[in-house]
Amino acid sequence: MWWVSVLVVVAALLGAYLGWTAHRVERVHVRAQSAERALDAHLLRRAAAAAVVAEQHDAVELYAAARLALDAEDGEREAAENDLTRQLQSVPLTGPDPAVHTLIVTSRRVVLARQVHTDLVRDALTARERLLVRLLGMSRRYPRPRYFDIVEPSLPESAVAAAPPATETAVPAEAA
C-alpha cells in the first residue's frame, strides 16, 4: 500500500513541475511580446525625432528615411530602420538644439530596447526548445517570437559629447 502514496507524491510533483513549466513558457512569451511593443514604440519615437531634425536642417535624405521608417509595414520595417540608422550616422548631430538632443536620447533608448527585446526573444526560444515543452505543445498558443535585426544605432562621439545633460528638478536654495 505504500506504493500508492509514492505514486500520488510523484504525480503531484510531476503536476507541479508541468504547471510551473507551462507558466514559465507563458510568462517569457508575454514578456517577449511586451518587449517587441516597447521596441516598436521607441523606433517610432526615433523616426519622428529624426523627421523633426531633418525638417529643421533641410536634410532631404534623412527626412525620406524617417518617413519610410514611420510608414513601413512589418516585412519592410527592418530595412527601413537600417536605412534610417545609416542616414543618422551620416548627419552631424551637434549643437544645443533640443530636437537633436531628443533624437540622441531616443537613439540611446532604441539601443537599450533592442537589447532587452533580443534577450527576451532568446529566453522564449530557449523555453520553446525544451523537450517537455515540445512534446506537450505548451508553446503552440503563442506565435514564435523573432529577432529584430537592425544595425546598432551608434552616434558619433561629437554628438554624445555635445548633448546637454538631462534636466533635473532643482531644489531652491531656501528649501535646502
Residue 154 confidence (pLDDT) above 90? no
> By the 8 A CB rule, do 158 and 100 touch?
no
- Burial status of residue 89 (CB atoms within 10 A of its CB: 0-12, 13-18, 19 or more): middle
What's the angle, vertex CA 86, arms to CA 106 and CA 92, rounded to 5?
A: 70
pLDDT category of residue 153 using cuts at 50, 70 and 90 = low
CA distance 85 to 175: 45
CA distances from 55 to 51, 63, 87, 114, 164 (A): 6, 7, 14, 27, 21
How confident is the model at residue 157, as a pLDDT?
53
Distance CA 16, CA 11 (A): 9
Contact in structure between 138 and 25 (CB atoms under 8 Å): yes
Cell of 12: 503531484
For 68-114, the pLDDT digits (tens) are: 898 888 888 889 998 998 888 888 777 788 888 888 889 899 999 99
What is the percent of the chain where pLDDT is above 90? 28
Q: Computed from CA positions of residues 39, 45, 51, 57, in that sequence, does the dihedral angle turn out positive or negative?
A: negative
- Residue in the structure block whose three cell numbers are 521607441: 42
What Rg, from alpha-carbon coordinates, does the chain have? 24
E strand or H helix at 101: helix 98-128
What pLDDT is stored for residue 168 in this prediction? 44
pLDDT of residue 175: 47
Domain locations in the chain?
A: 2-153
Average pLDDT, the chain: 83
pLDDT for residue 176: 42
The reply to whether the predicted model has a pTM over 0.85 is no
Q: Which of 95, 105, 111, 110 is nearest to 56 (CA)?
A: 95
Q: Which residue has better confidence, 49 or 164?
A: 49
